[in-house]
């Protein structure tokens, strides 16, 4: 349970706090486009084929030097009739407009209103695409769309996960077409990109997708009938037959919206037709299963809760233990391991501060075996620098190319880190 602090970490950093009264605002999809090196050519190709009368807003987030004067706006006017604007603090987002990020601030969105975030020394590692995509996912849910175009590095990949976790849609430029394939490749490697396309084919798929009832009627609450529920059960049976996991008792609204999102990707309006689709295509059963398991996670997610966990819970546990007594922690639903390793860092820091050392065992489980395999590698994208302090990155991680590796030797000899399957006979399905 979250315990609020007097002042949230986001407020301390000057970031807008989370607030989502979306239902009262006029509805239209907002498309975030992330681009870096080689992105201008890709953006021009995209808008050359994008109709100008679409009921969407487009926000282009680029990697720009602080004093860079962009000519993107003047160039884009040759490719689209939509209004082109530079993002301003407090500006309301309107459809059929293209918004360009400024060079010296990060962009966030709350209640369809832009907020510009001043850069500080704590923002030494800038990930403007991840930052905006996360904000977009929180604010717009299923009406958030994220597109990754040409660029180097991994910026945007964590944002893609956030958008998918909130029920939105994602696209990436084909790596072979991109002038620089690093960003598209990193996004595609998450396994969470719905469409991998050359830029000239993206607009057609995008316009079809936003006309689907999943988007066009996103705010309507329609109670499913008995026949609809019968088809849902058939889908659950197909997933269970292939993967052995039963979703029939899981959150009804979540499962229904995840299924409807896959229907929108395939431009299928009737659930009966989608049942036939997955009966004939076992790969779609697996894709839907993965969609059901999308876990939105990051290091020290909800910093206030982790702060209280360290100050109240960890301190209490360590004070009540004898030195020869082990400390065991179980992290259920660990996804790709960020929460488990966050706890490991807090425990190591707490023991050092208290000058008491214990044998620590962290057990972490998840339904998704692919997430567990990722967690076992203890390798994370460079983008985690947005959530992990420079001090912790230096102490607990090794940087290699565009990734950070957990340094096992940064934890004391009393540790048993979650680096292998701890019990193959344990009733839980998958252990780190």
Catalytic residue among 63, 115, 212, 374: 63
Question: How far out from the chain centre does Cα 302 lie?
Answer: 14
Tell me the three state secondary structure of residue 295: coil
What does the alpha-carbon distance between residue 343 and residue 332 come to, in Å, rounded to a whole number? 13
Contact 202, 174 (CB under 8 A): no
Angstrom distance (rounded) from CA 4 to CA 80: 46
DSSP count for the chain of H helices, then E strands: 17, 15
Closest to 334 in 3D by CA, of 292, 288, 293: 293
Q: CA-CA distance, 25 to 12, in Å (whole number)?
A: 28
> 36, 131, 150, 186: which one is catalytic?
36
Q: Which tokens is 60 given?
A: 């282009």
Place of tokens 């002042």: 7
Candidate list 155, 194, 366, 387, residue with the active-site label:
155
Partner residues linked to 306 by β-bridges? none
Active site residue 155: yes
Burial 388-425 (b: 16+ CB within 10 A, else e): beeebbeebbeeeebbbebeeebbeeebebbbeebeee
Say whether 63 is catalytic.
Answer: yes
150 catalytic per annotation: no
Active site (catalytic) residues: 36, 63, 155
């Amino acid at each position: 349970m979250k315990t609020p602090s007097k002042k949230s970490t986001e407020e301390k950093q000057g970031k807008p706090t989370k607030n989502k009264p979306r239902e009262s605002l006029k509805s239209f999809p907002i498309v975030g486009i992330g681009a870096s090196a080689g992105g201008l050519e890709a953006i021009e190709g995209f808008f050359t084929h994008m109709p100008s009368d679409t009921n969407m807003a487009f926000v282009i987030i680029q990697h720009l030097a602080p004093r860079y004067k962009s000519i993107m706006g003047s160039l884009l006017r040759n490719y689209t009739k939509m209004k082109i604007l530079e993002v301003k603090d407090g500006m309301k987002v309107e459809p059929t407009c293209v918004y360009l990020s400024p060079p010296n601030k990060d962009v966030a969105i709350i209640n369809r209103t832009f907020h510009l975030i001043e850069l500080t020394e704590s923002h030494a590692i800038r990930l403007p695409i991840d930052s905006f995509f996360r904000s977009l996912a929180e604010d717009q849910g299923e009406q958030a769309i994220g597109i990754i175009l040409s660029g180097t590095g991994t910026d945007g990949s964590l944002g893609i996960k956030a958008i998918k976790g909130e029920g939105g849609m994602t696209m990436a430029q084909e790596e072979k077409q991109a002038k620089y394939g690093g960003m598209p490749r990193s996004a595609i490697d998450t396994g969470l990109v719905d469409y991998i396309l050359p830029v000239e084919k993206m607009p057609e798929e995008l316009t079809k997708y936003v006309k689907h009832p999943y988007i066009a009627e996103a705010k309507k609450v329609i109670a499913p009938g008995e026949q609809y529920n019968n088809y849902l059960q058939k889908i659950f049976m197909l997933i269970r037959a292939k993967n052995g996991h039963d979703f029939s008792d899981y959150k009804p609204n979540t499962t229904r919206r995840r299924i409807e999102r896959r229907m929108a990707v395939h431009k299928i309006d009737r659930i009966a037709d989608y049942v036939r689709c997955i009966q004939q295509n076992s790969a779609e059963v697996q894709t839907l299963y993965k969609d059901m398991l999308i876990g939105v996670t990051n290091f020290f997610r909800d910093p206030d809760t982790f702060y209280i966990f360290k100050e109240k819970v960890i301190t209490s546990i360590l004070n009540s233990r004898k030195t020869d007594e082990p400390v065991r922690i179980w992290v259920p639903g660990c996804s790709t391991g960020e929460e488990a390793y966050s706890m490991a860092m807090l425990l190591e820091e707490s023991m050092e501060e208290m000058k008491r050392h214990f044998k620590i065992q962290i057990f972490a489980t998840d339904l998704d075996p692919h997430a567990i395999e990722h967690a076992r590698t203890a390798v994370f994208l460079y983008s985690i620098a947005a959530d992990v302090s420079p001090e912790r990155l230096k102490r607990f991680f090794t940087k290699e190319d565009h990734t950070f590796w957990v340094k096992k030797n940064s934890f004391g000899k009393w540790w048993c880190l979650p680096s292998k399957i701890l019990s193959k006979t344990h009733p839980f399905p998958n252990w780190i």
